Structure 1
């Protein structure tokens, strides 16, 4: 099980991070630890990855992820991480052993930098944030 926060700027671009250990970009998040709720994991991951205390808002996406050869099935929760401006990003501190960089990305950049599965999830999360809804996905696809 995993949890993440979708942080946007005033233009509606998503804050993506570039992991040091893989090629595709992601949003801030990670695995839920034992005895930790998805919301608590989102808070912890934001602190670890950005050095910021983010209070997640409402749930935007619940995405069932099917098993793969190297992983069991799981569920990924994406929470609204709020909107940051230039002042809010000035104190971002990335862990150099985990993340190379971060960037504000529009829809085209999301599809260029992320895996197709993650791009589907983040595109759905952006739409849910803009429309005030919550989306139920399976492998990044709408269930209905």
Structure 2
């Protein structure tokens, strides 16, 4: 009977690499629910999509969802925001050419007056950003994102993060 390789050896690294290569991988999206002092919700208009969206985007390899959300805010809006916690995670089934993914929404809190004054797209992935009252924001989002955002807004009210599958509890 052969023994497992010892941690810290080249054999151990090869053993882990083989296991890593065989494991399923999930795509991860990380969005942020940001509000103004009137409770309106910030949406962004991507140049590569028809509809409005929540600020955020896809995580890079070996990047946590929280760090992905913070990076996307810096890159696309020039915002440095402390995230206040997880509002929602949604397992999104395969759709179109895409495999399944995990979609997170974090609470970005309320943007201050100075942040709102200087707010605007800072790269070519966004053409606009604007605040909308929650009901209007939800109407502007595509169905899958709308259900997730609605659950995140509910979680703001009772401080209980939501777990969804295909946008449903």
Both proteins in one fold, TM over 0.5: yes
Distance, in Å, in 1 between the alignment partners of 2:58 and 2:84 is: 19
The counterpart of 1:87, out of the listed 109, 114, 124, is 114
Q: CA deviation at 1:15?
A: 0.4
Distance, in Å, in 2 between the alignment partners of 1:85 and 1:109 is: 22
User: Aligned-pair RMSD on alpha carbons?
Assistant: 1.3
- Whether the 8 Å CA contact 1:52–1:91 is kept in 2: the answer is no
Map residues 25-44 of structure 1 onto 2, 5 A cutoff: 25-44=52-71
Q: CA deviation at 1:70?
A: 1.2
More helix by share: 2
User: Relative CO higher for 1 or 2, CA cutoff 8 Å, sep ≥ 6?
Assistant: 1
CA displacement 1:77-127 (0-9 Å, x = unmatched): 111111014322112231352111111112331233110111111111111
Aligned counterpart, 1:119:
146
Tell which deviates more after alignment, 58-67 or 48-57: 48-57
CA displacement 1:39-83 (0-9 Å, x = unmatched): 110110110111011121110001000001210001011111110
The counterpart of 1:52, out of the listed 76, 79, 88, is 79
Q: Which has the larger radius of gyration?
A: 2
Distance, in Å, in 1 between the alignment partners of 2:156 and 2:135 is: 18
2:91 is the counterpart of 1:64: yes
The counterpart of 1:75, out of the listed 84, 91, 102, is 102
Tell which deviates more after alignment, 89-98 or 61-70: 89-98
More strand by share: 1
Inter-CA distance 117–55: structure 2 relative to 1 (3 Å threshold): same
2:128 is the counterpart of 1:128: no
Give TM-score scaled by structure 2 length: 0.79
Q: CA deviation at 1:13?
A: 1.8
Aligned counterpart, 2:34:
7
- Whether the 8 Å CA contact 2:79–2:115 is kept in 1: the answer is no
